[in-house]
Chains A and B, each alone.
Chain A
Amino acid sequence: MTTTLYTSDHEWLAIDGDVATVGITDYAQSQLGDVVFVELPKVGRALKKAEAAAVVESVKAASDVYAPISGEVLEVNEAVVAEPALVNSDAGGKAWFFKIKITDKSELGGLMDEAAYKAHTA
């Protein structure tokens, strides 16, 4: 079963066993505006929690996407690199950024569930 958690920096993580799929939230894309460029980490890169892992750019500005937890990058979504506008149309679905093998599940403790994230962005 998949559990979805959220960070205060507006990333989402869908957790399935020890693998997390990471993207940015619909709230984040609405704040960024039209996304024109996405840069993803290399497969195999070991990410530390809170380190800049990806970049998402609108016409106006570049924003970092932080690793919500530590782990190794297993897979990246080339579709979102080829079509950055996917981030605006389907941030929580087709526009996932990367999959990461979770190093330490205790790091999930500080993340928010959907209700808490909704309150955070209210």
Chain B
Amino acid sequence: MLARDDQDSLKRTPLHGLHVSLGGKMVPFAGYDMPVQYPAGVLKEHLHTRSSAGLFDVSHMGQIALRPKSGKVEDAARALERLVPQDIVAVAPGRQRYAQFTNADGGILDDLMVANFGDHLFLVVNAACKTADEAHLRAHLSDDCIIDSLAERALIALQGPKAEAALAKLCAESPGMKFMDAGPHKVDGIACFVSRSGYTGEDGFEISVPAADAERLAKTLLDNPDVLPIGLGARDSLRLEAGLCLYGHDIDTATTPVEAALEWSVQKSRRTGGARAGGFPGAKQILAHFDQGASRRRVGLRPEGRAPVREGALLFADATGGQPIGKVTSGGFGPSLNAPVAMGYVPTALSALDTKLFAEVRGQLLPLTVAAMPFVKNTYKR
């Protein structure tokens, strides 16, 4: 009976009926009933996205508008900078940037995308964190911004080398967009927010669409024979090959952006000596990590054998075991590499490329090597 209640309490995205009709295998994810795969299966869905185009329902993610009470978007940007270590003021209209909400200890509360839509900011946050993120925004930014939860919108990702051609048929402006461009555009006549970004390492788009129009737009995109529906299983293997962090696994409240090897996402203006240095939660700890280094670091890992090394596997410095030196935070099989791939945290002294380490899998210590990420070259249109 409990299982039935749990099933019933799962939320559904506006594309739920479409997933079921397409044969999606539905599983609970972040409180939603979501497709983990379709009849093609994870392997084919993954490879199809890399060779053609995949359509992903990411409507479970949170979409939030930050509207400045002053009417000036720069005021919303300055307000948001109190919660993130990124330079938001410098995000030009029509552009988007990757960011993190940090806590007082310098840990990461969530990672997100921030777009400047000219008169307001548009945020996309993780599904599992969206309620907490909204509360966090309301608690800290309500004096300066109206925090507008855009719950009546779906989010569709279209990813892969044929995404541009597929979307061009429905949105004339989309081929002119560059990686991390974002703005309101009509797609097949529907008022959407389109960004050239994603979570696969491929060129592609994310399309925010009113819930009522989501199924029609998804079906129109899927009418293109180059476009297949892709489930959460392949979404995870694609992002892992792309070296992208999964919140709650590779980053969380116990990891700083420096430990997570996300220094590139913190602009110089917010670091020590910058024009607006600090002024975000945990600045002391995060800037200390920038200035003095952190004792551990997220790295890419390539197992030598065929056995996948999965999340939770303990890492060791030598084949004789002893004390674990770190842990795998994401790992699995990379279909494009036809080999296992993983990422995890190791002491900085052991984080150099080509360092040999060992992972414990079913009582055995398997050799693996610290490797550069992304594991698969990304194909963003810069």
Contact = CB atoms under 8 A, between A and B. Distances in A.
A23 B151 CA distance: 48
Nearest to A55: B362
A37 interface: yes
B42 interface: yes
Contacts of B46: 59
A34 B42 contact: yes
B32 interface: no
Interface string A52-80: 00010111111000000000000000000
Given A34-B43, A57-B308, 17 more contacts: A33-B42, A33-B43, A33-B233, A34-B42, A34-B44, A36-B43, A36-B306, A37-B306, A37-B308, A39-B362, A55-B362, A58-B42, A58-B333, A59-B46, A59-B332, A59-B333, A60-B233
Interface string A19-60: 000000000000001101101000000000000000101111
B36 to A, nearest CB: 8
A57 B333 contact: yes
Interface string B24-61: 00000000000011000111101000000000000000
Nearest to A84: B306
Interface of B: 36-37, 41-44, 46, 233-234, 236-237, 306-308, 310, 332-333, 335, 340, 362
Given A58-B42, A60-B42, A37 B307 contact: yes
A59 B307 contact: no
A55 B234 CA distance: 21
Contacts of B237: 59-60
A33 B234 CA distance: 12
Contacts of A36: 43, 306, 308, 333, 335
B37 A37 contact: no
A55 B335 CA distance: 19
A49 B353 CA distance: 44
A57 B42 CA distance: 13
9 contacts: A34-B44, A37-B306, A37-B308, A37-B340, A57-B307, A58-B333, A59-B234, A59-B332, A62-B310
A62 B308 contact: yes
A57 B331 CA distance: 12
Nearest to B237: A59
Contacts of A39: 307, 362
B33 to A, nearest CB: 17
A59 B310 contact: no
Interface string A68-112: 000000000000000000000000000000000000000000000
